[in-house]
Amino acid sequence: MPKKPLDANKPRGPVTAYALFVRTCRDELRRKYPQLTVDYNVIAKKCSERWKVMNDSEKKRFNDTADLQRKRYKEEMATYLQEQSAKQQQQQQQSATSSILLQTPSTQYLVEPQQHTLIIPTQTQQTATTTILTVPKKPAKKRERKPKDPHAPKKPLSAYFLFCADERPKVHGSQTGMSVSDVARELGIRWKNAPIELKNKYEQAASEKKHVYQAEMAIYKHQTSTSTSPPETPQTPLTPHDYQPLFSSTSIQQQQQQHPQLQHILQQQHQQNFTSYDNGDTSEHPNEFDMITGGHSVGENDV
């Protein structure tokens, strides 16, 4: 049920003596310390404790002011009610007058009787018929999301989120009772004011995690693209650390000798990329090829 709009002409209610006391304390605090930011809940608690121990003589000026406001409110409310009753009577008179005017016709119309002939169609007469075709609406296509593979590698965290993971316990420990939005705001301020050395540290950690993620994705894509059946388990299981972001040709040969599966991946990537280069297409998985080989071309001796 919608609320009735507030009447701006209605008199405001009187203020109690305690409310006047709290308002006075707040104004004095603002006047003495204009640049101080204080929690008003703390001020209200202190005022409540002070009000309980005050005697009647100290409360007298606030009680007198509250009595004057109550008298003022009664007088203004009586005048307001009289004005409202007069407006209601005037509206009732106007509505009654308008209803009378609507019931009495202002013009008279001369209606002349006319004769109409009814024509009954025979068998020889044909009547035109129109058929309206209703086209069924196409059902709205629901956008189906592809199910996520639980075995797929998880995306790495950025430098900011790595920083938040380390700083969030510190924020909770320094200030208890903070909401989620307050914690996020505090973490953003700390990241903005963090020194460049600290940011570079998290940027480097995020870059390392990104390279590990790319290596995991290369293994995952190779396993999912070769066959639908689960891949055979190699003698020595591969880890993301077997694929470094940058390494020399000697390290490639060492990795190939240690893991036969890595040699098979490099041969397949080598054939696919050179096939695409011969066809004039250099846009097919260039990043994956550069990431696996460390940005160096793979020669026949390496393969």
pLDDT for the residue numbered 278? 45
Q: Sign of the CA dihedral 278, 283, 286, 288?
A: negative
Query: CA 237 to CA 161: how far, in whole Å?
Result: 30
CA distances from 287 to 4, 78, 210, 256 (A): 65, 83, 13, 21
CA distances from 233 to 220, 230, 238, 260 (A): 13, 9, 9, 12
pLDDT for the residue numbered 131? 56
> Cα 223 to chain center, whole Å?
37
Domain ranges of the chain: 17-91, 153-194, 207-303
Instruction: Please report, as a single letter, which amino acid is at residue 36.
Output: L
Band (202; pLDDT cuts 50, 70, 90): very high
Greater confidence, 293 or 91?
91
- Please compute the mean of the pLDDT values over residues 248-266 and round it to a whole number: 52
- Please compute the mean of the pLDDT values over residues 7-28 and round it to a whole number: 85
Band (264; pLDDT cuts 50, 70, 90): low
Band (98; pLDDT cuts 50, 70, 90): confident
Checking if the pLDDT of 33 tops 50, the result is: yes
Regarding pTM above 0.75, the answer is no
The percent of residues above 70 in pLDDT, for the chain, comes to 62
Burial of 183 (0-12, 13-18, 19+ CB in 10 A): middle
CB 249 within 8 A of CB 296: yes
pLDDT in tens, 209-219: 999 999 998 99
Fold of 17-91: DNA Binding (I), subunit A (1.10.30)
How does the average pLDDT of the chain come out, rounded? 73
pLDDT in tens, 157-167: 999 998 999 98
pLDDT for the residue numbered 290? 45
Going by C-alpha positions, the residue among 125, 196, 202, 224 that lies closest to residue 156 is 202
Greater confidence, 98 or 222?
222
Query: CA 182 to CA 192: how far, in whole Å?
Result: 15
Say which range, 29-33, 137-141, 239-243, has the weakest mean pLDDT.
239-243
